[in-house]
């Protein structure tokens, strides 16, 4: 059954700057109704949310959330399109891996996902359906997990109190967290596994987070929840860029894998300690999503502005505008900045200014190169011939 967003806008089923709800039907030419689904949509001038729900043959209610996005067109107007997330997240009821070396931020990113599901908010750029969550954390104690969750829920517009009835957290730090142990060539469940399994069956969570694979070893909880398992990669996995451990079963068994790692830098650039790259390495039920740059800020990971998609051009233009404004400000203050790395290197100095609005030195370096190429700024030399120094100046070269 086709679902055409432009048709929905044209026939008034969806309206801009409004919330609409109703039933969508698919009739035959004879007029006989083939199928119908309920919907509710809220559209702003540039984006919105669409919720669809229907009943299966067993009369079980199903619901699907879809984000609506739009882009401006060269000849005016906006083009609307569906943003479905099966390319990045995993099919429900099947396990997925989140891999990354120690300290990369796997636990925080997994807790962000769990909190977004529990509160029905956004995880990175993805709107998630609300539902109960279970998390088994084996590496951090309860006070540390609560500290992280406080930062995360604050960013989502909630608090730890909002999680109480929706988020079941078990911390196993310093305790035996094995869920499966080898027995005569087989992996058999432990009493802890049976306990978690019973709780999951009773709670019926939409998501179960298990952090970390090395602590629990193995086991599949028989429930309708999506399962996210974090995993430390081996040295070979880091060097090859796969993010995997030595055992290939960790890659072959789960149906999806996300790899969190430090963001790569251009040759000669200083590493950015707060920047991470999230890569979809495997997805058995859809195409692989594009890599996503994340920025660590105030205890959570945020999507780095201008890291890709339709915002890329706007971010470049913003970086160039910021660079020009700061260069003009420094000139009026009599502070010379250099195009060459050193103590007076323009991108590094500009990135520390409040007027930089969080744009980092790497982005400002690219902005400087483009502005020099476009002759909007130039390199001026000053001082005696024997000790001339180069510094940047606004405007084209004479």
In a domain, 255, yes or no: yes
Report helix, strand and coil shares of the chain as percent, to nearest 5: 30, 30, 40
Is residue 338 domain-shared with residue 359, that is, in the same domain?
yes
Give bridge partners of residue 276 from the DSSP assignment.
262, 294
Is residue 102 domain-shared with residue 231, that is, in the same domain?
yes
Least confident of 21-25, 137-141, 312-316, 392-396: 312-316
Is residue 226 domain-shared with residue 336, that is, in the same domain?
no
Collapsing DSSP to helix, strand or coil, 355 comes out as helix
User: Are the C-beta atoms of 140 and 169 separated by less than 8 Å?
Assistant: no
For residue 163, report the phi and psi dihedrals to the nearest 5 degrees: -85, -15
Is residue 146 domain-shared with residue 235, that is, in the same domain?
yes
Say what the pLDDT of residue 273 is.
Answer: 75
Q: Tokens 């991108």 map to which residue?
A: 347
Is residue 281 domain-shared with residue 333, that is, in the same domain?
no
- For 78-112, b where at least 16 C-beta lie within 10 A, e where not — what string? eebeeeebeebbbeeebbbbbbbbeebbbbbbbbb
At 328, the pLDDT band (50, 70, 90 cuts) reads: very high
- In this structure, the strands spanning 207-211 and 133-137 are parallel
In a domain, 18, yes or no: yes
Residue that is last in its domain, among 273, 303, 333 = 303
321 versus 72: the higher-pLDDT residue is: 321
| Domain of residue 341, CATH code | 1.10.10
Question: pLDDT for 172-226, tens place per residue?
Answer: 887 887 777 777 777 787 888 888 778 877 788 888 888 877 666 544 444 556 7
Spatial distance between the Cα atoms of 299 and 155, rounded to a whole number of angstroms? 9
pTM of the entire predicted model: 0.54
In a domain, 263, yes or no: yes
In a domain, 107, yes or no: yes
Say what the pLDDT of residue 204 is.
Answer: 82
| Domain of residue 231, CATH code | 3.40.50.300
In a domain, 157, yes or no: yes
Is residue 197 domain-shared with residue 131, that is, in the same domain?
yes
In a domain, 207, yes or no: yes
In a domain, 49, yes or no: yes
Residue that is last in its domain, among 281, 303, 325 = 303
Question: pLDDT for 227-272, tens place per residue?
Answer: 777 777 666 666 666 666 655 555 555 667 788 887 766 554 556 7
Is residue 229 domain-shared with residue 116, that is, in the same domain?
yes
In a domain, 89, yes or no: no
Spatial distance between the Cα atoms of 168 and 190, rounded to a whole number of angstroms? 20
Is residue 192 domain-shared with residue 275, that is, in the same domain?
yes
Question: pLDDT for 292-313, tens place per residue?
Answer: 888 888 888 887 765 544 355 5
User: Are the C-beta atoms of 26 and 4 separated by less than 8 Å?
Assistant: no
Is residue 266 domain-shared with residue 345, that is, in the same domain?
no
Say what the pLDDT of residue 35 is.
Answer: 65
Task: Tell me: pLDDT of 319 over 90.
Answer: no
Q: How many domains does the chain have?
A: 3
Is residue 102 domain-shared with residue 200, that is, in the same domain?
yes
Residue that is last in its domain, among 54, 83, 112 = 83
Query: 10 Å Cβ neighbour count for 63?
Result: 11
Is residue 174 domain-shared with residue 298, that is, in the same domain?
yes
Say what the pLDDT of residue 267 is.
Answer: 52
Domain span at residue 31 reads 5-83
Is residue 219 domain-shared with residue 261, that is, in the same domain?
yes
């Amino acid at each position: 059954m086709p679902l055409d967003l432009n048709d929905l806008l044209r026939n008034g089923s969806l309206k801009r700057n409004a919330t609409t709800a109703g039933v969508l039907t698919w009739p035959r030419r004879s007029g006989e109704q083939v199928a119908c689904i309920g919907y509710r949509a809220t559209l702003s001038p540039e984006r919105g949310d669409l919720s669809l729900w229907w009943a299966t043959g067993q009369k079980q209610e199903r619901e699907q959330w879809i984000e609506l996005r739009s882009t401006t067109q060269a000849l005016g107007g906006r083009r609307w399109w569906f943003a479905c997330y099966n390319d990045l997240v995993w099919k429900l009821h099947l396990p997925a891996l989140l891999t990354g070396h120690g300290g990369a931020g796997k636990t925080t990113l997994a807790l962000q996902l769990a909190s977004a599901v529990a509160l029905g908010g956004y995880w990175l750029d993805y709107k998630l359906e609300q539902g109960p969550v279970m998390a088994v954390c084996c590496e951090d104690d309860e006070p540390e997990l609560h500290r992280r969750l406080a930062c995360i829920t604050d960013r989502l517009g909630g608090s730890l109190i909002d999680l109480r009835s929706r988020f079941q957290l078990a911390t196993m730090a310093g305790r035996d967290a094995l869920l499966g142990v080898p027995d005569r060539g087989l992996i058999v469940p432990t009493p802890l596994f049976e306990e978690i399994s019973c709780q999951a069956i009773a709670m019926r969570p939409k998501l179960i987070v298990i952090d970390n694979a090395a602590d629990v070893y193995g086991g599949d909880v028989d429930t309708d929840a999506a399962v996210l398992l974090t995993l430390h990669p081996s040295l070979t996995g880091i060097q090859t860029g796969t993010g995997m451990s030595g055992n290939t079963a960790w890659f072959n068994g789960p149906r999806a894998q996300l790899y969190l790692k430090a963001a790569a830098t251009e040759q000669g650039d200083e590493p950015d300690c707060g920047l991470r790259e999230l890569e979809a390495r495997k997805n058995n039920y859809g195409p692989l999503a594009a890599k996503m740059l994340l920025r660590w800020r105030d205890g959570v990971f945020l999507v780095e502005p201008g890291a890709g998609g339709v915002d890329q051009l706007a971010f470049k233009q913003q970086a160039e505008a910021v660079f020009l404004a700061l260069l003009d400000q420094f000139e009026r203050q009599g502070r010379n900045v250099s195009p060459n790395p050193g103590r007076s290197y323009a991108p590094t100095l500009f990135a520390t200014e409040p007027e930089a609005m969080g744009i980092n030195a790497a982005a400002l370096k690219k902005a400087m190169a483009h502005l020099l190429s476009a002759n909007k700024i130039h390199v001026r030399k000053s001082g005696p011939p024997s000790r001339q120094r180069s510094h940047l100046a606004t405007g084209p070269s004479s």
